[in-house]
Structure 1
């Protein structure tokens, strides 16, 4: 690589401008080492927006900067004149080109090392201004790398959510066909015990898969920003609680369920969404609770809200996990006595508690959890009795 030598008065910003071609050539050679992403890309695609990034770095080194502005930049929060920036556009194209996050970040590490090596090798004697230039250079590199990481992460998250949304949406039709076929097969004619059992298993498995699809759709709605739709109507929560507890008794005949109702349980809520919360919290208690201990569902009416609590005895949730228990795709290990035999992943993919939180939040309430060896585990959801806005709402995303 041919480098144009420095003169005694040339500062680092000018050195980068003069040697931009050489720096870009080294950047291209480094990017090409990433296979398969870099192996099939043209030189133009490999170089991407490196010229604009170098121009930003050179201008940033020469710009005036206060101490406060330096701190802001160190946090990756320097105000920008253009959006998207060259670094963000670079990240978008690297994401589209198949580069992973580590490969993209390593490009910035290589760029930092390349410029530093060339500059230091050419210095006759380091001056205080040269040291300051190198500090400003590293700040500018960090700023561009932060912008690239932020953009890449956002696109990665969007791609993941779109994938989940498309997957769950497209699964609905075949699941519906399987379920309908199983139901019709039972009505075709007499069947032996083995055939009846197999069709029942198909129907049960399809129902569980349908619940997973519903949860995935709710997850993607919430994380893509559209929120969970909430349609309020006058309802009595005691009816839903009795319905869901009776359903749990049928599904888990070996488990004991206790239902306690008190106070006025009428209000404006989304009946179907409230049912989801009951089902998720009861299912969670069944999954992680001791099989010989009762599961207690308490619904208490207060003047301005109704409180739902589901309690079970079992291995307590680790303290460091309590803060993330309502995050998506977070779940505990299934209890060894889990009678379903399917484990946590097949039941709710760890989405149940996250979706429950979104539903409660959409109703203007809050959900919390306590878990100790002495008192067991209790999830409590607070539902405001009246809508804060209209009858149709969405959970804040």
Structure 2
């Protein structure tokens, strides 16, 4: 008796394959337990037919390699695997549960077919290889779509959160500022309102970073409104504010009397504040943070240096990535819970000015961030 090819076997045994897969899917808690049979089988049938059609389609060696790596050529229409990923995300599946479904579908097909294909090793091995390649491609499509949708949802949530926090925070800033200016209340209340005001301003800066972070993911990037400005004056204002807030730390500033450039003053201030704040957070409390400003005919260079623990080489490669934090944040609970997007925002602002930010960290010399932007 001649054993059937795997493609024919799949088409002729859709029901038992789906039943074996469904039995597994119902063990995935909690979503599967609340879904009916039609929902559980929503796209598995289409994927099985796609697998069978793929097995009957000749392919080159290049196509085989690309498919095994999950990078097969495709048209613009959504595949069954991508649609399946969207449905599972909405149903509450985790990516681990999604991957488990493909493992179960693969196992269901091969375990049932192995009983029919025994004794036909050459043909069976070829069909099995082609089938595994098709499943790998579908799995890659599903995971990629799932990850993209999760990222979009997360960024949209953060954007809405940051936007909605602005109004109540503005009330807090205004109210505490009003109390600070009052002359008929006891000093202890003025002190409390001053702390509230400083904390609210700090929260405002974090929220602005959060909104900028989501803007870079959901839109064209951080908007830059460049005007001719004195970069020395911008840096001086930022440093004076940070000296007031961090009175216990020393910030040294080296700069020429003036240095004009076409920049977005607010964004440059935000970038410098993030860099100096990072240096204060991670640098040694016994040594100053040194800020230096210089320029040529075409460029403006800003460096922020601090002494302290050296950043390991493996962390230097990812230090500007969002949600990556270098250290433990010291003793300040606010610092320990920071979002880790300040350096990412600083880099995006520099790139918005046709420049970039680099970092080097050497034992005995400390850590130095160097910003180079177009003048």
Pick one of 335, 349, 354 that aligns with 1:344. Answer: 335
- Name 1:377's counterpart in structure 2: 367
Q: How high is the TM-score relative to the length of structure 1?
A: 0.91
Q: Does 1:61 align with 2:55?
A: yes
- Name 1:354's counterpart in structure 2: 344
Distance 1:163 1:211 in 2: 18
Asked if 2 retains the 8 angstrom alpha-carbon contact of 1:263 and 1:302, the reply is no
Pick one of 157, 165, 169 that aligns with 2:163. Answer: 169
After TM superposition, the structure 1 stretch with the greater mean CA deviation from structure 2, 246-255 or 147-156, is 246-255
Distance 1:335 1:177 in 2: 29
After TM superposition, list the pairs within 5 Å mapping 1:323-342 onto structure 2. Answer: 323-334=317-328, 336=330, 341-342=332-333
Tell me by how many angstroms 1:194 deviates: 2.4
Tell me by how many angstroms 1:33 deviates: 1.9
Distance 1:49 1:198 in 2: 60
Distance 1:334 1:123, change over 3 A: closer
Q: For each residue in 1:29-49, what CA deviation from the matched residue of structure 2 results, as whole angstroms up to 9, or x when unmatched? A: 222222221121122211121
Distance 2:181 2:238 in 1: 28
Q: How many residues align?
A: 375
Distance 1:109 1:335, change over 3 A: closer
Distance 2:368 2:314 in 1: 17
Greater than 3 Å deviation, 4+ residue runs: 185-189
After TM superposition, the structure 1 stretch with the greater mean CA deviation from structure 2, 225-234 or 122-131, is 122-131
Pick one of 267, 272, 283 that aligns with 2:277. Answer: 283
Q: Helix, strand or coil: the match of 1:292?
A: coil
Tell me by how many angstroms 1:124 deviates: 4.0
After TM superposition, list the pairs within 5 Å mapping 1:245-324 onto structure 2. Answer: 245-262=239-256, 265-324=259-318
Distance 1:381 1:157 in 2: 29
Q: For each residue in 1:113-172, what CA deviation from the matched residue of structure 2 results, as whole angstroms up to 9, or x when unmatched? A: 111110112234124112100110110110100100100010111111111111111111
Q: Helix, strand or coil: the match of 1:308?
A: strand
Structure 2 residue runs without a partner (length 5+): none
Distance 1:124 1:254, change over 3 A: closer
Tell me by how many angstroms 1:334 deviates: 4.2
- Name 1:389's counterpart in structure 2: none
After TM superposition, the structure 1 stretch with the greater mean CA deviation from structure 2, 218-227 or 180-189, is 180-189
- Name 2:81's counterpart in structure 1: 87
- Name 1:159's counterpart in structure 2: 153
After TM superposition, the structure 1 stretch with the greater mean CA deviation from structure 2, 53-62 or 115-124, is 115-124
Tell me by how many angstroms 1:224 deviates: 1.6
Asked if 2 retains the 8 angstrom alpha-carbon contact of 1:300 and 1:307, the reply is yes
Q: For each residue in 1:236-268, what CA deviation from the matched residue of structure 2 results, as whole angstroms up to 9, or x when unmatched? A: 101111111111221122222211114972111
Structure 1 residue runs without a partner (length 5+): 1-6, 386-397
After TM superposition, the structure 1 stretch with the greater mean CA deviation from structure 2, 168-177 or 248-257, is 248-257
Asked if 1 retains the 8 angstrom alpha-carbon contact of 2:180 and 2:194, the reply is no
Asked if 2 retains the 8 angstrom alpha-carbon contact of 1:360 and 1:366, the reply is yes
Q: For each residue in 1:15-37, what CA deviation from the matched residue of structure 2 results, as whole angstroms up to 9, or x when unmatched? A: 00000111112222222222221
Q: How high is the TM-score relative to the length of structure 2?
A: 0.96
Distance 1:335 1:18 in 2: 61
**Bigger relative contact order, structure 1 or 2, given CA contacts below 8 A and separation 6+?**
1
Q: Does 1:97 align with 2:91?
A: yes
Asked if 1 retains the 8 angstrom alpha-carbon contact of 2:232 and 2:258, the reply is no
Distance 2:326 2:234 in 1: 27
Distance 1:61 1:264 in 2: 71
Asked if 1 retains the 8 angstrom alpha-carbon contact of 2:298 and 2:374, the reply is yes
Tell me by how many angstroms 1:99 deviates: 0.3
